[in-house]
Amino acid sequence: MKIVNKQAEAIPSRISLYEFGKAMSELDLSSVPDHKKAAAVRDHLAGIMSKTVLSPTAAFDIEMARQMRRRSN
């Protein structure tokens, strides 16, 4: 069994918990079909993450994964 310390592996961000909550609440799901709402929330979260993480490498990886996911759907 492997023990993982998720807090030690966390990537620092320049956004506070309050700012994160505010950014997530800006997503308007009223025009999104029910079966696509979960994907819309994940995409919005990835967009916030890619703009606020302090690691340029992690930000690039997140944004590229986001774009590849958009192309596949």
Which pLDDT belongs to residue 8?
82
Global pTM exceeds 0.85: no
Q: How far apart are the first and last CA of the chain?
A: 36
Domain containing 53 equals 32-72
Confidence (pLDDT) at 6: 80
Q: Would residue 26 count as lying in a domain? A: no
pLDDT, residue 9, reads 82
Q: How far apart are CA 40 and CA 35, in angstroms?
A: 10
Look at residue 44 and tell me if it is in a domain.
yes
In-domain check, residue 11: no
Give the model's pLDDT for residue 42. Answer: 94
**Residue 4 domain-assigned (yes or no):** no
The rounded distance, in Å, linking the Cα atoms of 69 and 36 is: 13
pLDDT digits (tens, 9 = 90+) for 1-39: 888 888 888 899 999 999 999 999 999 999 999 999 999
Q: Does some domain include residue 45?
A: yes
Q: Is residue 2 part of a domain?
A: no
**Per-residue pLDDT at 73 exceeds 80:** no
